[in-house]
Amino acid sequence: MTFVSSPVVVRPPATTANIGPGYDALGAALSWHDEIELAVVGSGLTVELAGEGVEDLPRDEQHLLVRAARAAFDRLGGQPPGLRLRCVNRIPQARGMGSSSAAVVGGIVAARGLVENGTELLDDAAALALAAEIEGHPDNVAPCLLGGVTIAWTDEETGRAHATRMEPAAGVRPVICVPTTRGYTAASRGLLPAEVPHAAAAANAGRAALLVRALTAAPELLLPATRDWLHQDYRRPSMPVSLELVDALRAEGIPAVVSGAGPTVLAFAPTPSTNDVEAIAMKTAGPGTFAVTAVDVSTAGAVAIRGQGRDQ
Protein backbone atom coordinates (compact mmCIF):
# COMPACT_ATOMS: atom_id res chain seq x y z
CA MET A 1 0.00 0.00 0.00
CA THR A 2 1.41 3.37 -1.05
CA PHE A 3 0.15 6.79 0.04
CA VAL A 4 0.25 9.73 -2.36
CA SER A 5 2.23 12.81 -1.32
CA SER A 6 -0.24 15.49 -2.44
CA PRO A 7 -3.55 16.25 -0.69
CA VAL A 8 -6.88 15.34 -2.21
CA VAL A 9 -9.93 17.60 -2.44
CA VAL A 10 -13.47 16.17 -2.36
CA ARG A 11 -16.73 18.10 -2.81
CA PRO A 12 -19.49 15.79 -1.54
CA PRO A 13 -22.97 16.99 -2.54
CA ALA A 14 -25.95 17.55 -0.31
CA THR A 15 -28.66 14.98 -0.82
CA THR A 16 -32.38 14.59 -0.40
CA ALA A 17 -33.86 11.21 0.45
CA ASN A 18 -37.30 9.61 0.65
CA ILE A 19 -38.78 12.25 -1.71
CA GLY A 20 -42.25 11.43 -0.43
CA PRO A 21 -43.19 7.78 -0.99
CA GLY A 22 -39.63 6.58 -1.66
CA TYR A 23 -38.98 6.02 2.02
CA ASP A 24 -35.47 4.72 2.80
CA ALA A 25 -34.91 3.98 -0.90
CA LEU A 26 -34.99 6.98 -3.24
CA GLY A 27 -32.48 9.80 -3.15
CA ALA A 28 -30.99 12.56 -5.26
CA ALA A 29 -27.77 14.56 -5.16
CA LEU A 30 -28.11 18.36 -5.01
CA SER A 31 -25.83 21.11 -6.29
CA TRP A 32 -24.85 22.22 -2.79
CA HIS A 33 -21.46 20.99 -1.63
CA ASP A 34 -19.13 20.76 1.33
CA GLU A 35 -15.42 20.99 0.55
CA ILE A 36 -12.88 18.64 2.08
CA GLU A 37 -9.11 18.56 1.82
CA LEU A 38 -7.29 15.57 3.29
CA ALA A 39 -3.53 15.01 3.28
CA VAL A 40 -1.11 12.45 4.66
CA VAL A 41 1.43 14.03 7.02
CA GLY A 42 4.29 12.74 9.15
CA SER A 43 2.34 12.21 12.36
CA GLY A 44 -0.72 13.13 14.38
CA LEU A 45 -4.10 14.51 13.34
CA THR A 46 -5.01 18.12 12.58
CA VAL A 47 -8.63 19.09 11.95
CA GLU A 48 -9.49 22.59 10.68
CA LEU A 49 -13.18 23.45 10.27
CA ALA A 50 -15.11 26.39 8.86
CA GLY A 51 -18.72 27.07 7.95
CA GLU A 52 -21.96 25.42 9.02
CA GLY A 53 -22.21 23.99 12.51
CA VAL A 54 -18.49 24.02 13.27
CA GLU A 55 -19.02 25.16 16.85
CA ASP A 56 -20.65 21.80 17.60
CA LEU A 57 -18.23 19.47 15.77
CA PRO A 58 -15.23 17.67 17.30
CA ARG A 59 -11.72 18.38 16.08
CA ASP A 60 -10.25 14.98 16.86
CA GLU A 61 -10.70 11.31 15.99
CA GLN A 62 -14.40 11.57 16.88
CA HIS A 63 -15.17 13.74 13.85
CA LEU A 64 -17.44 11.67 11.60
CA LEU A 65 -15.35 12.35 8.51
CA VAL A 66 -12.18 11.20 10.29
CA ARG A 67 -13.90 8.04 11.49
CA ALA A 68 -15.10 7.30 7.94
CA ALA A 69 -11.61 7.91 6.53
CA ARG A 70 -10.09 5.62 9.16
CA ALA A 71 -12.56 2.87 8.30
CA ALA A 72 -11.71 3.25 4.62
CA PHE A 73 -7.96 3.11 5.30
CA ASP A 74 -8.51 -0.14 7.21
CA ARG A 75 -10.28 -1.60 4.17
CA LEU A 76 -7.53 -0.29 1.89
CA GLY A 77 -4.77 -1.97 3.87
CA GLY A 78 -3.47 0.29 6.64
CA GLN A 79 -3.43 3.67 8.37
CA PRO A 80 -1.23 6.61 7.29
CA PRO A 81 1.35 8.02 9.75
CA GLY A 82 -0.67 11.20 10.19
CA LEU A 83 -3.53 13.18 8.68
CA ARG A 84 -4.39 16.82 8.08
CA LEU A 85 -8.06 17.56 7.44
CA ARG A 86 -9.55 20.85 6.31
CA CYS A 87 -13.33 21.19 5.89
CA VAL A 88 -15.60 23.96 4.71
CA ASN A 89 -19.14 22.96 5.64
CA ARG A 90 -21.80 24.50 3.44
CA ILE A 91 -24.54 21.87 3.73
CA PRO A 92 -26.91 22.82 6.57
CA GLN A 93 -26.45 20.53 9.57
CA ALA A 94 -29.31 18.38 10.91
CA ARG A 95 -31.79 19.70 8.36
CA GLY A 96 -32.53 16.57 6.26
CA MET A 97 -30.01 17.42 3.53
CA GLY A 98 -27.51 14.64 4.10
CA SER A 99 -24.78 16.51 6.00
CA SER A 100 -23.73 13.35 7.84
CA SER A 101 -23.74 11.35 4.60
CA ALA A 102 -21.53 14.01 3.01
CA ALA A 103 -19.06 13.59 5.88
CA VAL A 104 -19.10 9.79 5.63
CA VAL A 105 -18.80 9.63 1.85
CA GLY A 106 -16.33 12.50 1.78
CA GLY A 107 -14.07 10.74 4.26
CA ILE A 108 -14.20 7.44 2.39
CA VAL A 109 -13.58 9.00 -1.04
CA ALA A 110 -10.77 11.20 0.31
CA ALA A 111 -9.06 8.22 1.95
CA ARG A 112 -9.39 6.23 -1.25
CA GLY A 113 -7.85 9.11 -3.18
CA LEU A 114 -4.82 9.17 -0.91
CA VAL A 115 -3.88 5.58 -1.76
CA GLU A 116 -2.31 4.56 -5.05
CA ASN A 117 -4.85 2.48 -6.98
CA GLY A 118 -7.34 3.23 -4.20
CA THR A 119 -10.36 3.00 -6.48
CA GLU A 120 -9.32 -0.49 -7.56
CA LEU A 121 -8.83 -1.55 -3.95
CA LEU A 122 -12.13 -0.04 -2.80
CA ASP A 123 -14.51 0.35 -5.74
CA ASP A 124 -17.81 2.22 -5.63
CA ALA A 125 -19.80 -0.86 -4.63
CA ALA A 126 -17.49 -1.49 -1.67
CA ALA A 127 -17.38 2.22 -0.79
CA LEU A 128 -21.19 2.35 -0.79
CA ALA A 129 -21.43 -0.72 1.44
CA LEU A 130 -18.93 0.79 3.89
CA ALA A 131 -20.69 4.18 3.89
CA ALA A 132 -24.04 2.52 4.62
CA GLU A 133 -22.48 0.55 7.48
CA ILE A 134 -21.28 3.78 9.06
CA GLU A 135 -24.38 5.86 8.31
CA GLY A 136 -26.87 3.10 9.14
CA HIS A 137 -28.88 3.24 5.91
CA PRO A 138 -28.01 3.75 2.24
CA ASP A 139 -30.57 6.21 0.85
CA ASN A 140 -28.46 9.37 1.38
CA VAL A 141 -24.97 7.92 0.93
CA ALA A 142 -25.90 6.44 -2.46
CA PRO A 143 -26.63 9.75 -4.27
CA CYS A 144 -23.75 11.44 -2.43
CA LEU A 145 -21.35 8.85 -3.84
CA LEU A 146 -22.90 8.26 -7.26
CA GLY A 147 -24.69 11.52 -8.09
CA GLY A 148 -27.98 11.83 -9.95
CA VAL A 149 -31.08 9.99 -8.74
CA THR A 150 -30.56 6.70 -6.95
CA ILE A 151 -32.53 3.73 -5.67
CA ALA A 152 -30.82 2.03 -2.72
CA TRP A 153 -31.60 -1.22 -0.96
CA THR A 154 -30.05 -3.61 1.54
CA ASP A 155 -29.74 -7.32 0.83
CA GLU A 156 -31.72 -9.11 3.52
CA GLU A 157 -29.34 -12.09 3.60
CA THR A 158 -25.96 -10.34 3.60
CA GLY A 159 -26.96 -7.00 5.09
CA ARG A 160 -24.91 -5.31 2.34
CA ALA A 161 -26.18 -2.09 0.77
CA HIS A 162 -26.56 -1.69 -2.98
CA ALA A 163 -27.73 1.11 -5.26
CA THR A 164 -28.53 1.87 -8.86
CA ARG A 165 -28.11 5.30 -10.43
CA MET A 166 -30.41 7.06 -12.89
CA GLU A 167 -30.20 10.31 -14.83
CA PRO A 168 -32.69 12.97 -13.71
CA ALA A 169 -35.10 14.41 -16.26
CA ALA A 170 -34.24 17.90 -17.47
CA GLY A 171 -37.41 19.35 -15.96
CA VAL A 172 -36.66 18.22 -12.40
CA ARG A 173 -35.87 21.53 -10.68
CA PRO A 174 -35.61 21.30 -6.87
CA VAL A 175 -36.30 24.27 -4.62
CA ILE A 176 -35.02 23.86 -1.06
CA CYS A 177 -36.76 25.51 1.90
CA VAL A 178 -34.32 25.30 4.82
CA PRO A 179 -35.69 26.25 8.27
CA THR A 180 -33.66 27.88 11.00
CA THR A 181 -34.50 25.03 13.40
CA ARG A 182 -32.72 21.70 13.38
CA GLY A 183 -34.11 18.19 13.27
CA TYR A 184 -32.58 14.82 14.06
CA THR A 185 -33.17 11.57 12.20
CA ALA A 186 -33.27 9.36 15.30
CA ALA A 187 -35.97 11.46 16.97
CA SER A 188 -37.98 11.63 13.75
CA ARG A 189 -37.80 7.87 13.19
CA GLY A 190 -39.01 7.32 16.73
CA LEU A 191 -42.43 8.66 15.73
CA LEU A 192 -43.00 6.01 13.06
CA PRO A 193 -45.35 3.13 13.91
CA ALA A 194 -44.23 -0.49 13.77
CA GLU A 195 -47.10 -1.30 11.39
CA VAL A 196 -49.15 0.59 8.80
CA PRO A 197 -52.46 -0.34 7.13
CA HIS A 198 -52.14 -2.59 4.10
CA ALA A 199 -54.03 -0.07 1.95
CA ALA A 200 -51.54 2.67 2.86
CA ALA A 201 -48.57 0.43 2.03
CA ALA A 202 -50.10 -0.53 -1.32
CA ALA A 203 -50.83 3.08 -2.21
CA ASN A 204 -47.32 4.12 -1.23
CA ALA A 205 -45.75 1.38 -3.35
CA GLY A 206 -47.66 2.55 -6.39
CA ARG A 207 -46.65 6.18 -5.94
CA ALA A 208 -43.01 5.21 -5.33
CA ALA A 209 -43.01 3.41 -8.68
CA LEU A 210 -44.59 6.46 -10.31
CA LEU A 211 -41.97 8.68 -8.66
CA VAL A 212 -39.15 6.86 -10.45
CA ARG A 213 -40.86 7.66 -13.75
CA ALA A 214 -41.50 11.26 -12.74
CA LEU A 215 -37.91 11.94 -11.65
CA THR A 216 -36.29 10.38 -14.69
CA ALA A 217 -38.67 10.98 -17.59
CA ALA A 218 -41.94 12.74 -16.73
CA PRO A 219 -41.61 15.66 -14.27
CA GLU A 220 -45.22 16.64 -14.98
CA LEU A 221 -46.19 13.64 -12.82
CA LEU A 222 -44.31 14.86 -9.74
CA LEU A 223 -47.37 16.14 -7.88
CA PRO A 224 -49.20 12.78 -7.74
CA ALA A 225 -45.89 10.88 -7.60
CA THR A 226 -44.78 12.60 -4.38
CA ARG A 227 -47.91 11.71 -2.38
CA ASP A 228 -46.89 9.78 0.73
CA TRP A 229 -48.84 7.65 3.22
CA LEU A 230 -45.93 5.95 4.96
CA HIS A 231 -43.96 8.42 7.08
CA GLN A 232 -44.56 12.16 6.69
CA ASP A 233 -47.84 12.53 8.58
CA TYR A 234 -46.54 10.39 11.43
CA ARG A 235 -43.61 12.80 11.76
CA ARG A 236 -45.83 15.90 11.81
CA PRO A 237 -45.57 16.43 15.61
CA SER A 238 -41.80 16.84 15.32
CA MET A 239 -41.97 19.43 12.51
CA PRO A 240 -45.46 20.90 12.26
CA VAL A 241 -44.37 24.06 10.43
CA SER A 242 -42.57 22.05 7.75
CA LEU A 243 -45.61 19.84 7.12
CA GLU A 244 -47.85 22.92 7.03
CA LEU A 245 -45.62 24.28 4.27
CA VAL A 246 -45.77 20.95 2.40
CA ASP A 247 -49.58 21.08 2.62
CA ALA A 248 -49.72 24.71 1.46
CA LEU A 249 -47.43 24.11 -1.51
CA ARG A 250 -49.30 21.01 -2.63
CA ALA A 251 -52.62 22.86 -2.33
CA GLU A 252 -51.22 25.30 -4.90
CA GLY A 253 -50.25 22.47 -7.25
CA ILE A 254 -46.52 22.55 -6.40
CA PRO A 255 -45.00 19.10 -5.67
CA ALA A 256 -43.54 19.23 -2.17
CA VAL A 257 -42.19 16.77 0.40
CA VAL A 258 -40.12 16.69 3.54
CA SER A 259 -36.45 16.29 2.61
CA GLY A 260 -35.05 13.21 4.29
CA ALA A 261 -36.02 13.20 7.96
CA GLY A 262 -36.68 16.96 7.79
CA PRO A 263 -37.26 19.65 8.71
CA THR A 264 -36.19 21.02 5.29
CA VAL A 265 -38.95 21.06 2.68
CA LEU A 266 -38.19 20.08 -0.92
CA ALA A 267 -40.37 21.48 -3.70
CA PHE A 268 -40.19 20.97 -7.44
CA ALA A 269 -40.92 24.00 -9.53
CA PRO A 270 -39.84 25.62 -12.79
CA THR A 271 -37.40 28.48 -12.26
CA PRO A 272 -40.04 31.25 -12.62
CA SER A 273 -42.09 29.81 -9.76
CA THR A 274 -39.26 29.82 -7.20
CA ASN A 275 -40.68 33.17 -6.09
CA ASP A 276 -44.05 31.47 -5.64
CA VAL A 277 -42.48 28.92 -3.31
CA GLU A 278 -40.87 31.71 -1.29
CA ALA A 279 -44.14 33.64 -1.10
CA ILE A 280 -46.05 30.58 0.11
CA ALA A 281 -43.34 29.86 2.70
CA MET A 282 -43.54 33.42 4.01
CA LYS A 283 -47.34 33.36 4.14
CA THR A 284 -47.43 29.97 5.85
CA ALA A 285 -44.62 30.32 8.37
CA GLY A 286 -43.79 34.01 8.50
CA PRO A 287 -40.70 35.91 7.33
CA GLY A 288 -37.31 34.43 8.19
CA THR A 289 -38.59 30.92 9.01
CA PHE A 290 -37.39 29.33 5.78
CA ALA A 291 -34.48 30.22 3.48
CA VAL A 292 -35.62 29.34 -0.05
CA THR A 293 -33.02 28.41 -2.66
CA ALA A 294 -33.27 26.90 -6.14
CA VAL A 295 -30.74 24.13 -6.80
CA ASP A 296 -30.09 21.51 -9.46
CA VAL A 297 -29.84 17.76 -9.25
CA SER A 298 -26.10 17.16 -9.27
CA THR A 299 -25.22 14.51 -11.82
CA ALA A 300 -21.80 14.01 -10.20
CA GLY A 301 -21.19 12.47 -6.81
CA ALA A 302 -18.17 12.84 -4.55
CA VAL A 303 -14.88 12.57 -6.47
CA ALA A 304 -11.33 12.95 -5.17
CA ILE A 305 -9.17 15.47 -7.03
CA ARG A 306 -5.42 15.51 -6.47
CA GLY A 307 -4.12 18.85 -5.19
CA GLN A 308 -0.82 20.51 -5.91
CA GLY A 309 0.54 19.76 -2.51
CA ARG A 310 1.41 22.08 0.37
CA ASP A 311 3.90 22.20 3.18
CA GLN A 312 3.23 19.15 5.25
**CATH at 208:** 3.30.70.890
Could you list the beta-strand ranges (E) of the chain: 8-10, 13-18, 22-33, 35-41, 44-51, 82-89, 149-154, 161-166, 174-179, 256-258, 265-268, 290-294, 304-306
Residues 31, 140 share a domain: yes
Q: Characterize the bridge pairing of strands 82-89 and 44-51.
A: parallel
94 is in an annotated binding site: yes
**Is the pLDDT confidence value at 312 over 60?**
no
Q: What is the mean pLDDT of residues 55-76?
A: 97
Residues 71, 24 share a domain: yes
CB 36 within 8 A of CB 10: yes
CA-to-CA distance for 105 and 11, rounded, in angstroms? Answer: 10
Instruction: Calculate the alpha carbon distances from 28 to 94, 97, 163 in Å.
Output: 17, 10, 12
pLDDT in tens, 69-96: 999 999 999 999 999 999 999 999 989 9
Whether the full predicted model's pTM is greater than 0.85, yes or no, is: yes
Radius of gyration of the chain (CA): 19
Instruction: Calculate the alpha carbon distances from 55 to 10, 118, 183, 184, 199 in Å.
Output: 22, 33, 17, 17, 46
For residue 99, give its domain range.
Answer: 8-166+298-306
169 is in an annotated binding site: no
Domain membership of residue 59 (yes or no) is yes
Q: For the sheet containing 290-294, what is the strand order?
A: 256-258, 265-268, 174-179, 290-294
92 is in an annotated binding site: yes
* Secondary structure class of 215 (helix, strand, coil): helix
pLDDT at residue 184, rounded to an integer: 64
pLDDT at residue 181, rounded to an integer: 82
CA-to-CA distance for 119 and 75, rounded, in angstroms? Answer: 12
136 is in an annotated binding site: no
CA torsion sign for 64, 69, 74, 78 is negative
pLDDT in tens, 208-261: 999 999 999 999 999 999 999 999 999 999 999 999 999 999 999 999 999 999
5 is in an annotated binding site: no
List alpha helices for 151-239, DSSP H: 185-189, 198-216, 222-225
The number of domains in the chain is 2
Domain membership of residue 233 (yes or no) is yes
Residues 21, 122 share a domain: yes
Distance of CA 148 to the CA centre of its chain: 11
Residues 254, 214 share a domain: yes
242 is in an annotated binding site: no
* Secondary structure class of 296 (helix, strand, coil): coil
Residues 209, 135 share a domain: no
What are the two backbone dihedrals, phi and then psi, of residue 76, each rounded to the nearest 5 degrees? -80, -20
100 is in an annotated binding site: yes
Residues 302, 161 share a domain: yes
Q: What is the mean pLDDT of residues 12-19?
A: 98
Amino acid identity at 234? Y
Residues 206, 181 share a domain: yes
98 is in an annotated binding site: yes
101 is in an annotated binding site: yes
Domain membership of residue 191 (yes or no) is yes
Domain membership of residue 312 (yes or no) is no
22 is in an annotated binding site: no
Close Cβ partners of 254 (under 8 Å, ≥ 6 residues apart): 223, 267, 268, 269, 273, 276, 277, 280
Query: To the nearest whole percent, how much of the chain has pLDDT over 90?
Result: 90
7 is in an annotated binding site: no
Q: What is the mean pLDDT of residues 86-111?
A: 96
Residues 194, 154 share a domain: no
User: Mean pLDDT for the chain?
Assistant: 94
